Structure 1
Amino acid sequence: MEMKSSAEYGSAGSKLYVRETQCPYCSVQCKMTVEEVAGPIAGERRAMYTVEGVPNEASQGRLCVKGMNAHQHALSGQRLLKPLIRRNGELVPCSWPEAIQLITKRFASLRDRHGADTIGVYGGGSLTNETAYLLGKFARVALGTRYIDYNGRFCMSAAASAGSKVFGMDRGLTFRLSDIPRAQCIVLAGTNVAECQPTLLPYFNQAKENGAYIIVIDPRKTATAAIADLHLQVKPGMDALLANIMLKIIMEAGLVNEQFIGARTHGYEQLQNALSEIDLEEAAVQCGVDLSLIRQAAMAYGQAETGMIMTARGVEQQTDGHLAVRHFLNLVLATGKIGKPGCGYGAITGQGNGQGGREHGQKADQLPGYRSIENEQDRAYVAAVWGVEPESLPGKGVSAYEMMERVHDQEIRSLLVMGSNPVVSNPNVRLVEEGLRKLEFLVVADMFLSETAKMADVVLPVTAYLENEGTLTNLEGRVLLREQGRPAPGEARHDWDILCSIADGLGKAPYFQYGCAEDIFNELRMASRGGIADYYGMTYERLRREKGIYWPCSSLEDTGEGLLFVERFAHDDGKAAFTSELSPGWQDVSREFPLILTNGRVLPHYLTGVQTHRSPTLEARELENFVELHPAAAARNRIMDGEWVEIQSVHGSFNVRARIKENIREDTLFVPMHWGGIQNVNRATRPDLDPYCRMPGFKTAAVTIRPMRLAR
């Protein structure tokens, strides 16, 4: 991590100086400046840039390698600068009026012939709050479709649904980042902060300096596990059971906070009864972790006066992800470690606006302010803000992957994709590819010709983070304003402006009259007012002055709430809910498919790589995908380090290069998620979904592996 760097990159023309912006990648949302310090020399199209971190409450001025090089993709010569339309099988440039006219004509025709639900809208967790909000309004008012969801379904849905059930509210962290050094024990379950949110690592290092005991739960010995006092190398799919073993040990040791349980929770007795059935020795064997180590972890957390538990995709991207998170929350509640400094639960958000993106209406079941689309009062309130009748708003749709199933079944015949690359990010991508080919009309709005955009009938060029203005909400629930740093290149347009143009063509212009992003934010403030995620008290002026405000913020005098649940939880009765429903976990390996495939992120890349693969500096760090496997697994399968292998499940196969490492379990393979095509790990992931939150089981698939030289 550094605060300043210089790099050469192709200049987009005029001298670039961005007074202040923020990184477009992870959920920390680090602030920075970008300055062109030397223009192209001797006729070359290369310029020198200096990137500096700007002090802020989250990253304190730190930047990681992705943030220092984020400007490279924004200035890339591969940027889309004109709309593209498919003619004779090829995507060719066209004018904006022609593109919008075709889109509105095709949408209207499909709606007239097959109904509004024949059109789907697919958003993203990196869109600004303004665009995410408007995308939800666009789907429900301009199109009238119930089919809208977004790629954040694959990121935060398990933690979001669990937090809502347990606390009555979903916000990434229930505490302030600045509270981390005050924790005496920290449990990091399924999160690799050192690579995924590296500018946060100093908080944990500071906690260690203060004497904190850090426990990491992960099948791999990651860079985060390297800082831990104890690493529990759990078998993928067994996180929920591991949490229950820890809690039973804490109960038997008399380390529960009975006063807190009695005053502020319900459901504890049922949980006690459920856990009485667990045999600790047998359960530890199922988890693949020595019981003495689990006991060590449980006692450390149970005995600490202050403590935090944080989860991320390793726990959440499972078909029991909702229950797995709830079982970790049982630990938090049973020990009373929440609502006070140095305590709490945190779901470490992945995408840049993964928090805000799920609050304001681009999820299938939500309206702005974290309101429910199935609640009559919520529908009536938002309809009044929008100036429409509540009855005109469609009902709840389905999750992101289920939308792809409906595309495959041709129930959805047209799709608008904005800020996402579903042909790479979805599980079981063979079905997704087949479905997208069946579409009668596909529109993609993106900065680059992504794998999904290459399949589109119309591609619309959008602005990058340096060029668009709007708010984003970081992992701790702090809303930040990102200012526009430079004009849009070529004919690229803002996402929200594109939505307004399409709405105009569909005859819905009166509902989409905005001159700038701030106009949309002011409407969002009203639409969220009184909701769980209340932004009403925020304004652009306040955000500029105060450099970020926590939600909920219900009035212009409200400073927002950084530490949640000090006196009561968000349920009507003010109490939090234990769950006594246990999960059997996942154990579906077989003789034919004996290994467990799990996936995740690496430091240089982000999501499906659409942006980071366009950064020469980041691309040079990881040029191709790979699989990490244990030496014993490599020997059994006659695999040599560095050779190409095929990994296969019942759902499909992909090819990557082997990296033999001792840092992973013998029964587990790890493959990053940032590559498409034949290197796409999701060619082998399974389509099974969590019954509560519809999260796919990305982290567990039964597979076999073989060297390409021995392939049939």
Structure 2
Amino acid sequence: SNKTMPIHEIAKSEVVVFWGRNPHTTSSHLLPLIKGKTIIVIDPIKTPIAKMADLHIQLKPHTDQFLAMLLARFLHIENGCDEEFLEKYASGYEEYYELTQNLRIKAVLDQMDVSLGQLGDFLRLVKEKKVAFVCGVGIQKYHNGADVMRSIDALAAMLGLFGKEGCGVNYLGASRANISSPFVTQSKRVSKVLTEFSSFETVFVQGANPLSQMPDSNRVRASMEGVKNVVYFGLFENETSEMADLVIPAKNFLYKNDVRTSYSHNRISFMPKVAETDVGISEYDLSAYLCREFGIALESEEFYINHFKGFAVQKIDGLLYVDKREENPYSNGFDTKDGEFVFLDEIGSKIDEEEGMYLITSKSPTSLNSQFYRQESAYLHSSLGFREGEMVSVTSASGSVRLVVRHNNDLRSDCVLIYSGTKGVNNLTPSKHALSAKSAIFQENKVEVKR
């Protein structure tokens, strides 16, 4: 199941662990909730939150699973586990502890660039406390991203954090949880990671920019060039609209009625139209036009708004929330046959010995994906010898991109930061799925930087 810790519960925590999450860029609404709390940051970048944290572990990218497993191992050794919780809801913890013993401590610490002292500091700060793990998407941009999350969940389970006030794991959950769709469709689905556009006569792009944001941009462009009709429906000019045969301007949220839920909290918002414009068309109006042309039944816009209102309940704070979502997820056990947490039973990762630098594709503070002000730089540590402002070529197994160097000494020296939305960044990323999901793996490839 996919139940995230609601953000109002983070306000009740004593310790907040930001694991690969940069709240100043992606979640500024969390900042008022964490004042006065113990802050731990696990991130290869010294982010603003890391600079104010009680502990910052600046580990190598793609070693998060090892760190979570070693922390669980030492927690067990130090008798820091919540044994009452484990016996009731996660009785497989002894077998998981045995699995963690397969990690060679010195070799893994060296690989992560983390010290034993940092592990001890982490455990000292979290034991017997109300702890919230707040996870970012970057830790999942690898082939084993699901295992990384499961390892963090396992550490939280060993601490007994599920189903308790002010405790849990917050990550990108399901924004449609407990909401049923009013539409019934039986259309064939294809992967966004591997879509072969040339197999279709017409491609309709709504509010997206696949030529920039899908992985392996060179493959995507070659595939899209074989399409007879490309229709782009959106708000912004971009790489996809430039090659479209038809561009349909959309209306923004000021000029239409809409409904909004979130993947990080349980609120539901109804956004009424507040202004009129002759420019563009709303999603509903375009759908209504097409349904009339093709003889497809469609209810009124008011019908669908009312459908979603049926899932809203007003709480004591006067705000609307999705009804029947759990305040403390898994308070009565887990959504498995026996109600117990399922630990990993194998380590799917191994120590990375490939040459090259780690690619980090964080969210930009100035853009939303490929909208608004887009970055044009590769950020590198100044110790690498590249001059500020010089042009370099960044190359991976998938392709290359030329960008301007900007120095950032908050980075590890073995990392290249290219913000998501930067033109050409996804020339570097592979069109491969994660192992246990249909997710893209934007940080899997290592890269080389040359003048």
Q: How does the TM-score come out when normalised to structure 1?
A: 0.60
CA distance, structure 2, for counterparts of residue 546 and residue 246 of structure 1:
41
Summarize the Cα distance change of 1:412–1:546 in structure 2 as closer, same or farther, 3 Å threshold. farther
Q: Which amino acid aligns with 2:139?
A: V
1:185-224 equivalence runs, <5 A: 185-204=15-34, 206=35, 209=36, 212-224=37-49
Q: Distance in 2 between matches of 1:451 and 1:586?
A: 37
Paired with 2:221 and 2:280, the residues of 1 have a C-alpha distance of 27
Q: Is the 8 A contact 2:375 2:421 kept in 1?
A: no
1:315 to 136, 139, 146: 139
Q: Contact 2:362 / 2:418 at 8 angstroms: preserved in 1?
A: yes
Q: Please identify, of 268-277 and 331-340, the stretch whose mean Cα deviation from structure 2 is larger.
A: 268-277
1:318-337 matches, cutoff 5 A: 318-337=142-161
Q: Where in structure 2 are the equivalents of 1:570-589 lying within 5 Å?
A: 570-584=335-349, 587=352, 589=354
Distance 1:188 1:522, change over 3 A: same
Conserved 8 A contact 1:267-1:579: no
What residue identity is the alignment partner of 1:662?
Answer: N
* 1:386-431 deviation line (CA, Å, top 9, x unaligned): 6x7xxx8346x3331122xx22xx3334221112111111111000
Deviation at 1:701, TM superposition (A): 2.2
2:421 counterpart (669, 674, 684): 674
SS at match of 1:400: coil
Task: Tell me which amino acid in the other structure corresponds to 1:194.
Answer: H
- The equivalences for 1:53-64 within 5 A come to none
Distance 1:585-1:601 versus aligned 2 partners, 3 A rule = farther
**Which one has a bigger Cα radius of gyration?**
1
| Pair 1:624–1:393, CA change in 2 (3 A) | closer
Post-superposition offset of 1:567: 2.7
Distance 1:433 1:599, change over 3 A: same
Letter in 2 for 1:318: Y
CA distance in 2, matches of 1:261, 1:650: 44
Partner Cα distance (1:495, 1:588) in 2: 48
Shift of 1:239: 1.0
Partner Cα distance (1:588, 1:451) in 2: 36
Q: Write the mapping of 1:12-51 to structure 2, written as runs, cut at 5 A.
A: none
How far is the alpha carbon of 1:605 from its aligned partner? 1.4
Map of 2:410 onto structure 1: 663
Q: Rate the CA distance shift 1:245–1:308 in 2: closer, same or farther, 3 A.
A: same
Matched, 1:477 2:266: yes
Task: Specify whether residues 334 and 697 from structure 1 end up closer, same or farther in structure 2 by C-alpha distance, changes over 3 A only.
Answer: same
Could you tell me whether the CA contact under 8 Å between 1:307 and 1:342 is conserved in 2?
A: yes
Residue in 2 that maps onto 1:402? 194
Matched residue type, 2:347: L
Instruction: Provide the C-alpha distance between the structure 1 equivalents of 2:9 and 2:151, rounded to a whole number of angstroms.
Output: 23
Tell me if the contact between 1:247 and 1:331 (Cα under 8 Å) persists in the aligned partners: yes
Deviations 1:302-321 (A, max 9, x none): x1321111111221222211
- d(CA) in 2 for partners of 1:359 and 1:184? 27
Which residue is equivalent to 1:646?
A: 393
Structure 1 portions without partners, runs of 5+: 1-163, 165-169, 350-354, 361-367, 370-381, 526-534, 555-559, 614-622, 708-712
CA contact (8 A) 1:185 1:304 kept: no
Alignment of 1:583-662 (within 5 A): 583-584=348-349, 587=352, 589-590=354-355, 594-609=356-371, 612-613=372-373, 624-633=375-384, 635=385, 639-662=386-409
Shift of 1:571: 3.7
Q: For residues 258-407 of structure 1, what are the structure 2 equivalents within 5 Å? A: 258-301=83-126, 303-348=127-172, 355-356=174-175, 369=180, 393-394=186-187, 397-403=189-195, 406-407=196-197
Q: Deviations over 1:193-234 (max 9, x none)?
A: 112222321222x1xx2xx32211111111121121111111
Per-residue CA distance 1:550-569 (angstroms, 9 max, x = gap) = x3x25xxxxx5433222333
Give the C-alpha shift of residue 647 in structure 1.
0.8
Counterpart position of 1:619: none
In the TM superposition, structure 1's runs of 4+ consecutive aligned residues that sit over 6 Å from their partners are none
- Name the residue aligned to 1:567: 332
Separation of aligned partners in 2, 1:536 and 1:569: 27
Question: For the structure 1 residues 270 and 660, does the alpha-carbon distance in structure 2 shift closer, same or farther, using more than 3 Å as the test?
Answer: same
Contact (CA 8 Å) 1:241, 1:585: kept in 2 or not? Answer: no
In 2, distance between residues paired with 1:257 and 1:521? 45
Asked if the contact 1:257–1:336 (Cα under 8 Å) also holds between the matched residues in 2, the reply is yes
Separation in structure 1 between the aligned mates of residue 318 and residue 338 of structure 2, nearest angstrom? 33
Of the three residues 144, 153, 174, the one matched with 2:5 is 174
Which residue, 205, 212, 220 being the options, matches 1:424?
Answer: 212
- Cα drift, residue 546 of structure 1: 3.9
Deviations 1:468-505 (A, max 9, x none): 22211122121111221111x22411112212222222
Question: Is the 2:312–2:320 contact (alpha carbons within 8 Å) kept by the matching residues of 1?
Answer: no
| 1:672 Cα deviation after fit | 0.8
Contact 1:240 1:583 in 2 (8 A): no
Q: 1:183 aligns with which of 3, 6, 13?
A: 13
The question of whether the paired residues in 1 share the 8 Å contact of 2:250 and 2:280 is answered with: yes
> 1:520: which partner in 2?
304
State how far apart, in whole Å, the 2-side matches of 1:426 and 1:295 are: 40
For 1:597 and 1:265, locate their aligned partners in 2 and report how far apart those are by CA, in whole Å: 36
* Secondary structure, aligned partner of 1:309: strand
Question: What CA distance in whole angstroms lies between the structure 2 residues aligned with 1:646 and 1:217?
Answer: 29
Question: Aligned pairs, how many?
Answer: 449
Maintained 8 Å contact 2:203/2:229: yes
- Secondary structure of the corresponding residue to residue 666 of structure 1: coil
Q: Which residue number in structure 2 is paired with residue 13 of structure 1?
A: none
Distance 1:424 1:327 in 2: 31
Cα deviation, residue 656, structure 1: 1.7
State whether residues 189 and 309 of structure 1, in contact with CA within 8 Å, keep that contact through their aligned partners in structure 2: yes
Distance 1:266 1:461 in 2: 55
Aligned alpha-carbon RMSD (Å): 2.4
The letter of the residue matching 1:643 is E
Deviations 1:596-623 (A, max 9, x none): 22111222211112xx23xxxxxxxxx7
Amino acid at match of 1:180: I
Q: Would you say the 8 A contact 1:589–1:595 is kept in 2?
A: no
1:245 is displaced (CA, Å) by 1.0
Distance 1:359 1:418 in 2: 23
Report the CA distance shift for 1:561/1:655 in structure 2 as closer, same or farther (over 3 A). Answer: same
Give me the whole-angstrom Cα distance separating, in 1, the residues matched to 2:86 and 2:272: 45
Question: What residue number does 1:538 align with?
Answer: 312
Q: Could you tell me how far apart the structure 1 residues matched to 2:177 and 2:209 are?
A: 21
Quote how far apart the aligned CAs of 1:585 are. Answer: 5.1
Distance 1:586 1:682, change over 3 A: farther
1:248 matched to 2:10: no
CA contact (8 A) 1:644 1:656 kept: yes
Aligned to 1:486: 275
Q: TM-score, normalised by structure 2?
A: 0.92
After superposition, the Cα gap between the structure-2 partners of 1:561 and 1:601, relative to the gap in structure 1 and judged at 3 Å, is same
